[in-house]
Amino acid sequence: MTNNPENSNVHLAVRPQWLALRQEEILEPELPIIDAHHHLWDKPGNQYLFQDLLADTGSGHNIQATVFMECGSMYRQSGDPMLRPVGETEFAAGVAAMSASGQYGSSRICAAIVGYADLQYGHRVDEALHAHLAAAGGRLRGIRNISAWHSDPKARGSMANPPSGLLLDKSFQEGFSRLAPHGLVFDAWMYHTQLDELAALAALFPETTIVLNHVGGPIGIGPYADRRDEVFNTWRASIQRLSALPNIAIKLGGFGMRLFGFGFHEDEIPAPSSVLAQAWRPYIETCVEAFGPDRCMFESNFPVDKGMHGYAVAWNAFKRATTGYSAGERSDLFHDTAARVYRVGHDTSP
- Ordered structural domains, the chain, with CATH: 29-341 (3.20.20.140)
Going by C-alpha positions, the residue among 89, 85, 50 that lies closest to residue 302 is 50
DSSP 125-141: HHHHHHHHHHHTTT-EE
pLDDT of residue 4: 43
CB 89 within 8 A of CB 135: yes
DSSP 134-183: HHTTT-EEEEEEE----SSGGG---S--PPTTGGG-HHHHHHHTTTGGGT
Collect all residues with Cβ–Cβ distance below 8 Å to 156 and sequence separation of at least 6.
10, 148, 149, 150, 191, 222
Write down the mean pLDDT value for the chain. Answer: 95
User: What are the phi and psi torsion angles at 145 (to 5°)?
Assistant: -120, 115
Answer whether residue 116 shows pLDDT above 60.
Answer: yes
Going by C-alpha positions, the residue among 348, 345, 304 that lies closest to residue 100 is 345
323-333: pLDDT as tens digits? 999 999 999 99
Collect all residues with Cβ–Cβ distance below 8 Å to 74 and sequence separation of at least 6.
41, 42, 87, 88, 90, 91
Answer whether residue 6 shows pLDDT above 80.
Answer: no
pLDDT of residue 347: 59
pLDDT of residue 119: 98
CB 150 within 8 A of CB 189: no
Q: What is the 8-class DSSP label of residue 111? A: E
CB 253 within 8 A of CB 215: yes
pLDDT of residue 349: 46
Answer whether residue 303 shows pLDDT above 60.
Answer: yes
Answer whether residue 94 shows pLDDT above 80.
Answer: yes
The region of weakest confidence among 126-135, 158-167, 258-267, 281-290 is 158-167
How sure is the predictor about 3, in pLDDT bands with cuts at 50, 70 and 90? very low
Whole-prediction pTM value? 0.96
What value does the mean pLDDT take over residues 203-231?
A: 97
Return d(Cα 157, Cα 209) in angstroms, integer.
Answer: 25
Position 21, amino acid: L
Return d(Cα 320, Cα 316) in angstroms, integer.
Answer: 6
pLDDT of residue 5: 41
Return d(Cα 146, Cα 109) in angstroms, integer.
Answer: 23
Going by C-alpha positions, the residue among 295, 294, 206 that lies closest to residue 247 is 206
Give CA angle at 185 (180, 190), nearest 5°.
125
Neighbours of 212 (CB within 10 A): 24
